[in-house]
Each structure stands twice: as C-alpha cells, then as structure tokens.
Structure 1
Amino acid sequence: MDIEPKGKVIPSKVDDYRLLLDDTQGWGGSAVTDVPDTDLWLSDDIDLRDDLIGSYYSEYQPKAYRFEEHIFLQSEEDGKMNTAYSTIYLFNTVIDEVLGTIGDEDEKKKLYAEAKVHRAFAYLKLVNIYAKQYDPATASTDLGLPMQLKPVLEGSLSRGNVQEVYDLILADLNEVYDYLPDTQIELWRPSKASASALLARTYLIMGDFTNALKYSDISLGLYSYLTNYNDLPAHNWYPALLDFGQRYLNKEQLLMKNPLSDYYMMYPSQEFMDLFDQVNDLRYTGKITYEWSNPGTNLYYYYSTNTGSSYGLTVPEMLLIRAECNARKGATGISAAMDDINLIRENRIATAAYAPLSAADATEALEIVKEERRRELAFMGTRYTDIRRYNAYDNANISIVHTVNGENFTLAPGDNRWALPFARKYIEKNPEIEQNPR
C-alpha cells in the first residue's frame, strides 16, 4: 500500500482536488455536474411515444412512466442512483481530505465548501425522488436516504429519516457559506449566489416561504443576469429554433448541472403545450419543433447541451421563487410578485407582443406564478417536486395521468408511489435498506 501505482494520481495537493471538482466530463467516473433525472419521466409535462417503447427508450423509462411497483428487474441496478452516489463519494473524498493536504489555506477552504454545496445538491435531488415530500409533522419518521458522509465503501446503509436529510443539507450550506466567492468563476463551481439559491430551493420545498424569500433575494442581489430571447440567433441545425449556445456558456446559471438523459428528445404533453402563447412565446417557438428523423409525427422539446438547458440552479428560478413567496404573503406581495414575473416574460415574449401581466388578488397572482414557473423551468427537474409540494401545502389535488397504448396510469395525491422504489438488488445485498411502501 506504500507503493503509488503507475499511471494513477493519488490526491495529495490542493491542485489535485481542484482537478476532481473541475471534472465536468466524468472521465473515469461520474462528472461533478451529473444528477439523476428520473423525475423527468414522471411529471405531467411529458408524453411517451407508444411506437418507441421497446426500441428508443431504455427499459426503466416506460416502467417509471407507468408508475410501476418495480422499475428495475431483480438483478438490475439503478444507474441514476449509482451516479448520484458516485458523485457523493467524490464530494466526501474532498470534504474528508482537502483541509489536511498541501497548499493554500484559503483554496483548501473553498474546495471544502464547493464539495459540501455539490453534496447538498445531490442529496436534495435524491430525497425528492426516493423519499416522501417533506412534511414537518412526519419528516422525523418518514424514510429518508442512506447518507454516506465519509468516503468509505463499507458500512451501514440504513436510510434514516427525511428530516435528517434536510438537516444535513441546511447545516452544510450554512457551514461553508463564508468560504465561497460571491459569484461563480466557472458555472459548475459553487458560490455564495448558488449556495443562497440552493437554500432558497430547499426552503421552498420544505414550505418555509419566509426563508425561501430571504435566500432567493440574497442570491439575486449577488447575481441576476437574464438572457433576452429576442436577441438570440436562429439555430444552425434547426433553423426554426433559437440558438441558446452550449450549456457551459449559459450565463443565467448559478450552478451548472447536467441531466443524465441529456440527449433524449422529450415529447411534451398537450396539456403542457397548451400553457403557451404558441405564436409569441419564444420558449415555445424557440425550443419545440417536429422530430427531424420522422417529420410530422410528434412535436418534441429540443433538450440538450445545445439549447443551453440547465438542470441546476438559475436566475429565473430565483425570480420565480421570490415571486411565489411574495404572492403567498397576500395583498402586500402582489406587486413584487408580478414585477418578477413580468421581468421574466419581457425577456421571453416577442417584443412586439409583450404586455405586462397583472393580478386582481393574491390567489390569481399565485396561479400566474405557478403557470410561469412551469413554462420557464420546463424539463429542468422541478415539475415533479412542484406537484408534490402543491399537493402538500396548497391541497392542489393534482394527479398525474400517463397513457400507454390506450391504457391510463394514474398517480393520485397521497399515493405511496410518489417516492420511487429502490432497486431490489440493493436491498437484497443490504437488508438494512428499507423499501418504500407501495
């Protein structure tokens, strides 16, 4: 064990750990930007093409779309969960080792902080796929996640509870906040702006709208860049679409993350498309088109690195969180909520057709915010979580209905299947992992 293997680098200097946290391609492992995106296949924004089941889609996607009891066969692993825990292992390695290594002390603290923000993001994503919606009355007893906090390959994988996951996320973000720069140097490197944004998202999901408002406002005070879609050129490959540039150039991002289904064509549901002004909303005309390989069969949402799509934290999301929290304040927050909504729309609607929106009361303002949130954050990994929390906090009574070969599959409010099952292989090898009730 004292012999360093040839062709390998054992991290020993600050620069080595910087290389680990700057790996956005995943060479030799998962990229720091990769996050699971199973929830994309669960929401009401997407349709699954019947004719592509068994060929285009992976086996798990139709099963997830049908809300099946088990998404994976007895012998199969959950690749999305594997990736998430691979990145968590990487972040744990940096957290556990970097402060004791050779190099500049301030850089050590910054790397330690970055790893904690990345880990918090990963756990927030996982807990909103594989555990129940946060409920302060039951969070201390609802099954949470196996929380690995050290870079070890052995040990207990008992799940703990949902409250413990959120406590870890909040504690980590608050601990390292002062070690971070105000704004991002690279889009994948955390900053105070992105840590504030992650705190805002976390508190929003928890139903703590006071703190969600506080941290979204702090994040926007640090960084608030918006792209005006009216200024974007046509796409080289798809002239009917807009060219948003590569994801790593999208300056609206506060923290860049990549969905694992990066190049899949997402077929939007009719319900989702009906939310748009299909003539003047550039989010529709600039991103939704006919499939190039089979023209005229289905509209799809062109979703990949080439549309600048973000699966992480963005300025528009912070504007929407701030708007929602203000709308929930009642009459005193209506004006502020609509200001943020109109700021987004002014940069998304064709200039000649743009007109500011207004709301007669707080109820209408909140509905406008929710619709705008669904349009703006489409296929960015928020819709499934949004429905869960609307059902919990607003008694929204939203069901998701998917149709496959003429048969309807319904996920109703209160159904245990809102928390995805763990792959059976994991439980077979680690009996302490309790399966989600079905």
Structure 2
Amino acid sequence: MKKILYTICTFLILVTFASCRKFLDAKPDQKMTTPNSLEDCDALLDDRATMNSMYPVSAEIASDDYYLVKSDWESIYSFWERDVYVWNKNVDINYMEWQGPYKIILIANQVLEVLDKINRERDLVKYDRIKGSALFFRAYALSQLTTVFTGTYQKESADRLLGLPLRLKPGADEHVVRSSLRETYEQIINDAIESYALLPVTAFVKTRPSKGAAQGLLARIYLEMGEYMLAKTAAEKALEHNNSLMNYNLQDNSTTPFERFNVEVIFHASTNVSDALYPTMAKIDSVLYKSYSDHDLRKTLFFGDNEDGTYSFKGRYDGQLNGATFCGIAVDELYLILAETSIRNNELENGLHALNELMVTRWDAGTFVPFLANSKEAGLSITLQERRKQLLFRNIRWADLKRLNLEPAHKKTLVRKIGDQEYDLLPNDLRYTFLIPLKVMGQSKLEQNPR
C-alpha cells in the first residue's frame, strides 16, 4: 500500500507542476500513466495531507470569536492574513485557499473517472465505498469554498448570485465558468445524497466519510440555505448512525483536552494553518469568555489562561494546539442543528430537549439546570448562543454570521481595534464574500466577486 501511495502521490506532484498555468491544477496529458485500480483509488483518497487538511482558513481568521493585540497583528508574517483580520475589501488571500479545495476536487474527479473504467461486479462493496467517498469529498470541498467565495444563500436570489466553477471532470480541456449559487448548492446536495447511498455506516478510519458524514454535510448545507425541515431530517438521520457524546467531566484539563478522532468526530478535516490563529496570538473575546458559567466545563477545557487577564483557545477536536482549525463534522454540531431547526419548525419542546441532551454533558456533574423558554424567540436565542459557545474554531462561525445577518433579531456589526484604529464590518457587507485570489484571476476568465 505504501508503494502504491508513493507512486500515486509522485504522479500527482508531476501533474501539479506540469499544469501550474491551469487554475485548477488539471491533468495535462491523458496519455500519462494514471491510476487504474480500486487500490489506486483508495491510495488517492487516503492521502490525509491533501484530502483532509487543505480547507480554507480565511473565514476563521475573519470571524469574531477572538482578537489580536497590535504587536501580534503587526508580527504576522503573511500580509494577506493581516488584511483578512481587518476585513480589507481588496485583500488578495493566499492562492492555496482556492487551490487546496480544488485539488481535492481534482482527485475526486480522477477517482470517479477511473471507476468508470472498472467493472463494479469485481468488488461491489469496495467499489461503492470508493465512489461514495469521491462524491463526498467533492461535495465537502465545494461546501468549504462557498463559505469563503460565495454570497449568502437566499432562495429568491440564488439564481442571480455567482456560485463556484463546478469542475466535474479531471481533464485540462474542460471549459469552466462560474455557476449560479443555486447550481453550486444543488451540486453539493446531489453529490452528498448520492454518496449517502454508497457509503458504509461506519468508516474504517475517521478521515474517510461515512453515511453519518454525508447526512451531517446535508444538515449543515440545508441550515445555510434556510431549509430548516430538510436540515432537521438530515441531522436526525446522521444521529441515527452516531449520537455518542463525550462526558466532559471525564476529559483531562490539559493543553490538548480532546484527542484526535474522539467519539464525537464523525468525519475528520482541518483547515490550512494560520499565523493569526496560533494560541499564542489569538485571544478569546472577553465578553464571549465571560458568558460561560463557572460550572460550565467548557470554560476550562476550551480555554487556557494566559496569566495576563486574557485567554487562548485549546479545545480543538483534532488534538492539536496550532494555527489550524478542525473543520470536520461532529456529533455536537448535529445536536445543535437539530435543536435550532426543531425550534424554527415550531417544535420548541423538542428543540430544547436536543439542546439539553448535549449541554448536560458539558457541565459539572449534578449542576446542570435544563434550559427553559416560553417562546420560540427565546428558545432560538438560547440555542444560537450555545451553538456559538460550543462550536468555536470549527470554521463554522463565518457561515453562521452570514446567514444570521439576514435576520434582524440576530444580525451583528463586527468591530476590530488595532491600536487607535477601528475597523467595522456591517451585516450583509460585500466583504463577507472574499475576492478570488489574483493568481487565479490571472490564469482564468472567471468573473470576480463584486466590491
């Protein structure tokens, strides 16, 4: 297997360098020796460094759960990260923010092309798992790209808004343009639904997708779209496959309290590394920190005391303490989606029940008092607050800000301060959608996002 993986990775490196003029790193020569077996396909999809670790981090840098002091902001090596932090409208973000996910899509397309030439009857179970995995990875990469490079989904305008280039073939000669936002979301949904039918209930390792991961992705996407009944159904289906929650009372209060592939992780993925998000730099918003009660175990498991009145985040679900962010799918997120969508669908009692099922595992044993609400609005407010407090540094907050800015009761103006200079970001500002990197624009004829 190691020899196969080495051979395939070498091939991909050659492809990447030979096609540097193509903005999606497409395969330059179909006559080259290519993967041709199920084992080759597995090796491609099991390349964790690519398939599970190249998702955009820009949205997390721009989010509001942390702040930087002036000296730390000035010390950031990457100018584009400084610009993202202060929401510079003309920021030229790192090329890898775009190229990384599209490389994942390239590999997924390569696998699907190989599968078209293999007789499925040779190994039905393996063939279906691999095809389902390729479809899932393509959908997941597209979903991460939408957070950064497309506007907020609204049913009435989705046909008019710019979506993503939908690269569905591995060849270099495919002409690509930007689809509509509706077409982009439809592609994600169609891939996820098809993958669900093919994937196993349980993945051999959590870097591989499963049925629960496919439904979890659907729940997240439907929530972004405001399709609350569909999101609720998808969350319920995902939880049928895995509803295990950690008891935070049993977690060690160490520098990395949560191990990689812990029981709540359904699908493991992480973003690119960011200088701004290193725990030594990123300080937790003080108002957010104070919102955790003293009996809330997240207050100690999520945050490290900097001993100067500030706090850093240490609660990543990948067992790491670095500048990358866990951006996979986990059970706690699904409980929160179920809670929110139940309440939005006028099932207040069911929504609070789902929320309390999760929250009782986050508090000191015997101290949790179940959340109560006498109105849909009050229940939703509580749930959204706990969603933010539970899903810090998951690459989710930016998408939440975008969708919640459409609701007068939940929209928010963001404010940054660098020394005496103040920056703000108003709800629904065009800067919530990042510009496509200039290097990409120079290699293509794509339409740029508006400013």
* Both structures adopt the same fold (TM-score exceeding 0.5): yes
Aligned counterpart for 1:269 among listed residues 263, 285, 288: 285
Q: Say if 1:253 and 1:314, in contact at 8 Å, map to a contact too.
A: yes
| CA displacement at 1:65 relative to structure 2 | 1.2
Who is 1:343 aligned against? 357
AA in 2 matched with 1:274: K
Who is 1:198 aligned against? 217
Who is 2:18 aligned against? none
Distance 2:9 2:375 in 1: 68
Residue 310 in structure 1 maps to residue 326 in structure 2: yes
Who is 2:15 aligned against? none
Distance 1:390 1:6 in 2: 41
Q: Which moved more, 1:175-184 or 1:308-317?
A: 308-317
Aligned counterpart for 2:42 among listed residues 18, 24, 30: 18
> What runs of 5+ residues in structure 1 fail to find an aligned partner?
none
Distance 1:396 1:340 in 2: 21
Q: How many residues align?
A: 414
Q: Which moved more, 1:340-349 or 1:309-318?
A: 309-318
TM-score with structure 1 length normalisation?
0.88
1:287-302 matches, within 5 Å, as 287-291=302-306, 295-296=307-308, 298-302=310-314
Who is 1:354 aligned against? 368
1:35-434 matches, within 5 Å, as 35-56=55-76, 58-72=78-92, 77-101=94-118, 104-235=123-254, 238=255, 243-245=257-259, 247=260, 249-261=261-273, 264-265=278-279, 266-277=282-293, 279-291=294-306, 295-296=307-308, 298-302=310-314, 305-306=318-319, 310-330=326-346, 333-393=347-407, 396-430=410-444, 432-434=445-447
Distance 1:395 1:153 in 2: 47
- Judging changes above 3 Å, is the alpha-carbon distance between structure 1 residues 6 and 321 closer, same or farther for their aligned structure 2 residues? closer
| CA displacement at 1:163 relative to structure 2 | 0.6
Distance 1:296 1:98 in 2: 57
AA in 1 matched with 2:289: M
Residue 437 in structure 1 maps to residue 423 in structure 2: no
| CA displacement at 1:54 relative to structure 2 | 3.4
| CA displacement at 1:10 relative to structure 2 | 3.9
**Percent identity for Structure 1 against Structure 2:** 26
Residue aligned with 1:306, SS: coil
Distance 1:117 1:5 in 2: 20
Aligned CA-pair RMSD = 2.3
Q: Say if 1:77 and 1:425, in contact at 8 Å, map to a contact too.
A: no
CA displacement 1:297-340 (0-9 Å, x = unmatched): 7421125542597311111111111100111122xx11111111
AA in 1 matched with 2:353: D
Distance 1:197 1:349 in 2: 25
Residue aligned with 2:395, SS: coil
Distance 2:363 2:271 in 1: 26
CA displacement 1:4-35 (0-9 Å, x = unmatched): 999768422111111111121x2xxx233431
Residue aligned with 1:62, SS: helix
| CA displacement at 1:156 relative to structure 2 | 3.2
AA in 1 matched with 2:207: W
Q: Say if 1:99 and 1:108, in contact at 8 Å, map to a contact too.
A: no
Q: Which moved more, 1:299-308 or 1:315-324?
A: 299-308
| CA displacement at 1:381 relative to structure 2 | 1.0
TM-score with structure 2 length normalisation?
0.86
AA in 2 matched with 1:284: K
| CA displacement at 1:183 relative to structure 2 | 2.7
Q: Say if 1:264 and 1:303, in contact at 8 Å, map to a contact too.
A: no
| CA displacement at 1:96 relative to structure 2 | 1.8
| CA displacement at 1:270 relative to structure 2 | 1.9
Distance 1:6 1:34 in 2: 15
- Judging changes above 3 Å, is the alpha-carbon distance between structure 1 residues 31 and 429 closer, same or farther for their aligned structure 2 residues? same
Distance 1:67 1:136 in 2: 27
Residue aligned with 1:300, SS: strand
Q: Say if 1:33 and 1:188, in contact at 8 Å, map to a contact too.
A: no
- Judging changes above 3 Å, is the alpha-carbon distance between structure 1 residues 153 and 303 closer, same or farther for their aligned structure 2 residues? farther
Residue aligned with 1:185, SS: coil
